Structure 1
Amino acid sequence: MLGWLSDSESSSWLASGVAHLAVVVLLSLLVITQQGKGPDWTLEGTATSELPQELDIELNPMPSVGDELDSESMAPKAMGLPDLELGTPSVDITQPMLTPTATASVDAFATEMLDIGNPLASAGGGLEGRNLDNRRSLALAGGGSESSEAAVEAGLKWLAAHQLEDGSWTFHLDAEHCPQCAGKCRNPGRIDSSTGATGLALLCFLGGGYTQHEGPYQEVVSKGLYFLINKMLLTSEGGDLRDSQEISLPFARQASVRLRGDMYSHAIASLALCENYAMTRDSNIAGPAQKAIDFIVNAQNELGGWRYEPRQPGDLSVTGWQLMALKSGVLGRLDIPRHVWYRAAEFLDSVQAEKGATYGYQQPSSTRPSMTAVGLYSRMMIGWPEEHPPLLKGAVLLAKEHPKDSNMYFNYYTSQVLHHVGGAGWRRWNPRMRNYLVQTQAEEGHEDGSWYFDEPWSDRGGRLYTTTLAILTLEVYYRYMPMYQSEFVNQAP
């Protein structure tokens, strides 16, 4: 073809054409990769190196995630939620359970995990107990009482009365932040995290079986979910549920600055979304729940833990909340890479003592009961079998403790561990914990139905924090079905 060109001319023309084309492609790539670049802007707070054993959603340094700032196409966006219809849940969106995306190194490590258990195969700890028809039977059969159930309902009523107009809750209960309360309740908190407070409150309603589709609190739950989803910022690493605010800067088209909240806030809010999706299979919740899980996956440190900021070297307290969210993601059949569990097990190994019977915050310890409770519960979620000796030894150690009037964080986690293990330790612990909470619930004025305990960290979360932990503890009988015990519904009186 084209006989007017000689062979040599054809070769020269072809070579020249290829060379010019390569230059054009290279220049195009350079132009494309430079679009949207700009300074990352964050508002930093202060971080403390003295870290507690319990929920601590404090103001911390706030680095941006990814390269999403200063670009209309890449900037984080609030993830809107279609109007949640109260009534019949939407059809389930089928998604894979867990994707086997382990790398070669993870595959090699997996052979060393065989004696630890398989989180993917764990059938225990499900949500089927949150059924309004059999909740009472499960409570009475598992160690609850009519009084403890009445306390749960009174607590939920208090929470509903303190929900803000936008669907959120706040740790602050003063007139400025919570007009519904306006300071009528004593002991307000000082943590600035609307997503953390909203997540904790929603977990209480979900734990009692109340969703946007069922029960007397449908509107309360619907508004809370709507708030969380619209608060979510979509980033290149998933949906960020830490409190954020978009601001305008004179030298940048768009920027998002995170003002408060940390990975505690994200995990608690994510747990609420994932539990709700697992319970309802509402298609409105599926996408946001998956995005929240994606952010947790990408925030994991290479050594397996989580802390205040993404990819920081982990601490056990923050890690425990992330694992609860991931476990709920499993129950909702969301997509979670397998290697996340293996890395988490490696982190737990790094903070364990006595071969896994006790745990420390960032280092091994046998003198921190709260961290032992978090560590053992985390091991259960990852897949330790019932007969694993360190689990049994650790449960025995926890059962020797008394419920603490100055540490609801310890009480909550210990109740979870002993409930799942069962046996004499649970029978000894449960009536003490149950009766203590029933007897200490407020019964007068605007505080009616709430709790407050004077403990070292309660001034941070205040009455909302201690109330939610008390409710979640009293819901232990049905909130998660026992991981190791056989069903006991027929034992109910």
Structure 2
Amino acid sequence: MLGQDGGSKDRSPVTQSPGTQPPVFEKPDKPARVREPEQGSLLGGFLSWALAGRTSAWLTSAALHMGIVLGLSLLFFSLQKKEQIELTVIPSILVEDSVDFLLDANSASSDGLELPSPPERTVGSTDSATTIVVTPPSLEGLEVAAITPLPTAMTIEMTSPLKIKGGGFSGRKLGNRRDAALAGGGTAASEAAVEAGLAWLAAHQWEDGSWRFDLEACPQCGGHCRDSGYFRSSTASTGLALLCFLGAGYTHQDGPYQEVVQRGLYHLSESMSITSHGGDLRDRFMGAAGGRDPGLLAAVDLVRGQGDNMYSHGIAALALTEAYGMTRDVDLKGPAQEAATFIVNAQYDDGGWRYSPGFETPSDGDVTVSGWQVMALKSASLGGLKVPYETWLRLEAFLDAMQREDGQYLYKRGGKPTGSNTAIGLLCRMVGGWPLTQAHLRKGVAKLGTERPDRNHMYFNYYSTLVQHHAGGAGWQRWNPRMREYLVKSQATEGHERGSWYFAEPHSAQGGRLYTTAMAIMTLEVYYRYMPLYREVALERE
């Protein structure tokens, strides 16, 4: 048994070398002395932006409030930590309303599939719509000290001994994407829907590079899109949006949205707090309107550990680790490793993760929060970053405790199995190295294969699509055309909402239209976002 209920064993965190500090960006007195940055790097983009005199006012605010935070930390250090506020961004619910409709025979054909050109970055038309001005800030070499390595016997890359073929990013390469979509079951219509969704996201990016669930506050939207969300974590919303661009093969170095992706990555990296446990991507100021520092109250929340949760960290960490894994940009390696290290140290003694890190509020893990952390660690491993072997062993024990004999998975100890949790648990088993012949995995996949896409619950649809795609077979052949055509036909086609989706269910209101749009886009990207784990797909260009 790796842990007991309500208890926490003493585990020393994976640490950085002394002296690691958050990045400080300064405008040089003499721009001519700045070395010419490399073309296409995050560092180069930021230097150009800074030398143009467009640095933000956050430096002054940061210096002032750092003093406040340090003072308050002395005041609150000896106080007992309060229970973490449990804000669930996208929890699981039972699948109730399934999709079942007649398919247009022509719509399912993938003959002649061509990747459409990205649409113009204007979505719909309104009299008061704001024109987007893309300002390309970039990350200035957030180099952090290397983490202290564990003994060699206790560290491995995920691919050994948890070795599996597939699951990589090669399908996302722009030269491979068409072939992967054709081989996997995509159509010209589904690819056009992806591109329209990305155009909508680009049109709703904030000037600081972030995305927000609150569309009413978005200067580029101003509430012209219905179904605005209210969850205030900018790292969660920015991470979700970036995952959509990365899933389509569009990075800060390649594709038509380089500046958009670059600005988003900069926002995540700037939002990271470097701690002794790694890089924390929970939004420090999520209680502030527009993401601005509200002053003393935010500082108090930061010291007390209140506010954002591990959902946000896992989503943002997944975006950073994917971006690094796809580009191997040296400016991203430090932030990506720090984000992964924080996940490692946040793991509970039972092997799972929940709303707050285990070193803050020891508790039992849950499957939904754990799913994002596992995928971020998987991407970190694909990029050659360090993930301790012990982390995977603890995860295995946690999944064993959540698994039922019939292959379904619970939400947490004492909970009930649901379609979403079963899909997440199965996906974690797959990326953790279980062969498709494993008895419990086979049972779970078979059970999931009897389900149909849900009309509103995109969280279930997203994870089930990933599992069915990896498993293949008759279940995937039934699921894919239903899911694909439902999303193609339900996408908004008019006005400022053009290219987006919204599905009303009890929990989608928190993330609103931006959340459901991101989940729909990633679901349609399934054919190339991760290559199949259990079968090989021949691509023309590697």
Max Rg structure: 1
C-alpha distance in 2 between matches for 1:406 and 1:426: 20
SS in 2 for 1:471: helix
Q: 1:248 to 1:427 in 2, by over 3 A?
A: closer
Q: What letter matches 1:263 in structure 2?
A: M
Identity %: 55
Aligned to 2:11: none
SS in 2 for 1:38: helix
Aligned to 2:497: 447
Q: Which is further off, 459-468 or 391-400? A: 391-400
Aligned to 1:337: 388
C-alpha distance in 1 between matches for 2:338 and 2:417: 37
SS in 2 for 1:150: helix
C-alpha distance in 1 between matches for 2:87 and 2:518: 25
Q: 1:372 to 1:249 in 2, by over 3 A?
A: closer
2:171 to 108, 129, 138: 129
SS in 2 for 1:380: helix
Offset of residue 125 of structure 1: 0.4
Offset of residue 84 of structure 1: 5.0
Q: 1:43 to 1:192 in 2, by over 3 A?
A: farther
C-alpha distance in 2 between matches for 1:425 and 1:100: 43
Offset of residue 425 of structure 1: 0.9
Alignment of 1:266-305 (within 5 A): 266-305=313-352
> More relative contact order in 1 or in 2 (CA 8 Å, sep 6+)?
2
Aligned to 2:76: 40
1:167 to 202, 206, 209: 209
Q: 1:290 to 1:402 in 2, by over 3 A?
A: same
Q: What letter matches 1:471 in structure 2?
A: I
Offset of residue 48 of structure 1: 7.1
C-alpha distance in 1 between matches for 2:139 and 2:528: 26
Q: 1:301 to 1:137 in 2, by over 3 A?
A: same
1:249-281 alpha-carbon deviations (Å, 9 max, x no partner): 69x999756663200000000000000000000
Kindly indicate whether the alpha-carbon contact (under 8 Å) linking 2:410 and 2:418 is maintained by their aligned counterparts in 1: yes
Q: 1:239 to 1:169 in 2, by over 3 A?
A: same
* TM value normalised by structure 2: 0.70
2:234 to 181, 186, 194: 194
Residues 1:381 and 2:431 are matched in the alignment: yes
SS in 1 for 2:388: coil
Aligned to 1:138: 180
Offset of residue 363 of structure 1: 3.0
Aligned to 2:378: 327
Q: 1:285 to 1:257 in 2, by over 3 A?
A: farther
1:26-45 alpha-carbon deviations (Å, 9 max, x no partner): xxxxxxxxx99713378987
Runs of 5+ in structure 2 lacking a partner?
A: 1-69, 94-135, 286-292
1:390 to 429, 437, 440: 440
Alignment RMSD (CA, Å):
3.2
Residues 1:465 and 2:465 are matched in the alignment: no
2:478 to 405, 428, 434: 428
Runs of 5+ in structure 1 lacking a partner?
A: 1-34, 55-80, 108-116
Q: What letter matches 1:203 in structure 2?
A: L
Offset of residue 50 of structure 1: 13
Q: What letter matches 1:262 in structure 2?
A: N
1:456-477 alpha-carbon deviations (Å, 9 max, x no partner): 1111110000000000000000
C-alpha distance in 2 between matches for 1:488 and 1:398: 27
Aligned to 1:347: 398
1:67-105 alpha-carbon deviations (Å, 9 max, x no partner): xxxxxxxxxxxxxx99459xxxx9x99x99x966667xx
Kindly indicate whether the alpha-carbon contact (under 8 Å) linking 1:248 and 1:254 is maintained by their aligned counterparts in 2: no
Kindly indicate whether the alpha-carbon contact (under 8 Å) linking 1:118 and 1:383 is maintained by their aligned counterparts in 2: no
1:393-438 alpha-carbon deviations (Å, 9 max, x no partner): 2111111111001211110000000100111111110000000000
Offset of residue 51 of structure 1: 9.2
1:10-57 alpha-carbon deviations (Å, 9 max, x no partner): xxxxxxxxxxxxxxxxxxxxxxxxx99713378987437999317xxx
Q: What letter matches 2:424 in structure 1?
A: V
Aligned to 1:412: 462
Q: What letter matches 1:47 in structure 2?
A: E
Alignment of 1:298-317 (within 5 A): 298-311=345-358, 312-317=363-368
Kindly indicate whether the alpha-carbon contact (under 8 Å) linking 2:137 and 2:262 is maintained by their aligned counterparts in 1: no
Aligned to 1:358: 408
Kindly indicate whether the alpha-carbon contact (under 8 Å) linking 1:137 and 1:489 is maintained by their aligned counterparts in 2: yes
Kindly indicate whether the alpha-carbon contact (under 8 Å) linking 1:248 and 1:255 is maintained by their aligned counterparts in 2: no
Q: 1:372 to 1:102 in 2, by over 3 A?
A: farther
Aligned to 1:211: 251
Q: 1:304 to 1:354 in 2, by over 3 A?
A: same
Offset of residue 221 of structure 1: 0.2
Aligned to 1:484: 534
C-alpha distance in 1 between matches for 2:177 and 2:89: 41
Q: 1:388 to 1:151 in 2, by over 3 A?
A: same
Kindly indicate whether the alpha-carbon contact (under 8 Å) linking 1:206 and 1:275 is maintained by their aligned counterparts in 2: yes
Q: 1:119 to 1:348 in 2, by over 3 A?
A: farther
